[in-house]
Amino acid sequence: DGGITQSPKYLFRKEGQNVTLSCEQNLNHDAMYWYRQDPGQGLRLIYYSQIVNDFQKGDIAEGYSVSREKKESFPLTVTSAQKNPTAFYLCASSIEGLGPSYNEQFFGPGTRLTVL
Amino acid sequence: AQSVSQHNHHVILSEAASLELGCNYSYGGTVNLFWYVQYPGQHLQLLLKYFSGDPLVKGIKGFEAEFIKSKFSFNLRKPSVQWSDTAEYFCAVKPLNMDSNYQLIWGAGTKLIIKP
C-alpha cells in the first residue's frame, strides 16, 4: 500500500524537551512538507524539502528543525525554542516541489503533540 | 498578506439538503484553487481543483465548485448531501506568483455534520 505514515499518533512532551515527529512515504515523491494545524486556523507551512539533502523554511519555521537524508523520510524536530508547540502536525508529499505547475499534495494521518 | 476565508466554521444539515460552503481569497492575480476533505479518521485528501477553463469544476462524490473571479470566490456545492459527507472541508489557494513561492494558502476549514 502506497502512502504516507506518521508516528506517533499522539505525543506528549514536557516543557523544555525536544521531540521528533516521524514522516515516511513510499510514493517515490521528491518533495515533502510539514504543516501545523491549530483550531480555527488553516494549515501553515513549517518546512518543505524539494529534494534530498535540501530543505527550505516555510512561514513558521522558528523553533523547528528538519532533515532530509533519505527520499522517503522527513523528520521534524520540535525544539524547546518553539513557544507554543501544542498542535496537530501534518506531513505531506508531492511528486515535484513547489512551482507553477499542478502538484497534488498527499497527506499523512497527522501527529497530535501536547506539551504538558 | 494573502488569506483565504471560509465563512462557516460549523454547518449542520439534514440528509438530502443542498450544501454550499463559501470560500473567498484575497489575492488579485492568477490562482489555482482546491478543496480538500478530511473524513473522520482518514487522511486529508483532494476533493476537486480548478486551474483554468470552465469555472465550474466537478469533483468526487457529486461535489462541484464554481470559480467566480470577480468575487474572488470558489464555493463548494452539492445538491443533495448524504450522511457519509460528514467531514471537515478545507479550501486552499495557490497564487501563481513567485513572490508567494507557489505555496498553498489554506482556509480554516468547515466542519460539516449531516444528520441522518
A65-86 per-position pLDDT tens digit:
999 999 999 999 999 888 899 9
B16-27: average pLDDT: 96
Query: And the C-alpha cell for A32?
Result: 515533502
Q: What is the pLDDT of residues B22-40, one digit of tens each?
A: 999 999 899 999 999 999 9
Q: Which of B42, B102, B108 sits opposite A42 (nearest CB)?
A: B108
pLDDT score of B84: 96
Contact: A100, B96; criterion CB under 8 Å? yes
Rounded distance between C-alpha atoms, residue B10 and residue B85, angstroms = 14
Q: What is the pLDDT of residues B60-102, one digit of tens each?
A: 999 999 999 999 999 999 999 999 999 999 999 999 887 777 8
Min distance A26 CA to chain B CA atoms (Å):
16
pLDDT score of A2: 67
Confidence of residue B116 (pLDDT cuts 50, 70, 90): confident
Contact status of A9 with chain B (Cβ, < 8 Å): no
Q: What is the pLDDT of residues B84-95, one digit of tens each?
A: 999 999 999 999
pLDDT score of A103: 79
Using a CB-CB cut-off of 8 Å, the residues of chain B touching A98 are 101-103
Query: And the C-alpha cell for A54?
Result: 535540501
Q: Which of B32, B42, B106 sits opposite A42 (nearest CB)?
A: B106
Rounded distance between C-alpha atoms, residue A32 and residue A20, angstroms = 16
Contact status of A42 with chain B (Cβ, < 8 Å): yes
Using only C-alpha atoms, chain A has a radius of gyration, in whole angstroms, of 13
Whether residue B113 is predicted with pLDDT greater than 90 in this model: the reply is yes
DSSP state of B61: G
Query: And the C-alpha cell for B41?
Result: 479518521
pLDDT > 90: percent of chain A: 80
Write the CB contacts of B114 (distance below 8 Å, at least 6 apart in sequence). B12, B13, B14, B15, B81, B82, B83, B84, B85, B86
Min distance B60 CA to chain A CA atoms (Å):
15
Using a CB-CB cut-off of 8 Å, the residues of chain A touching B43 are 3-4, 106-109
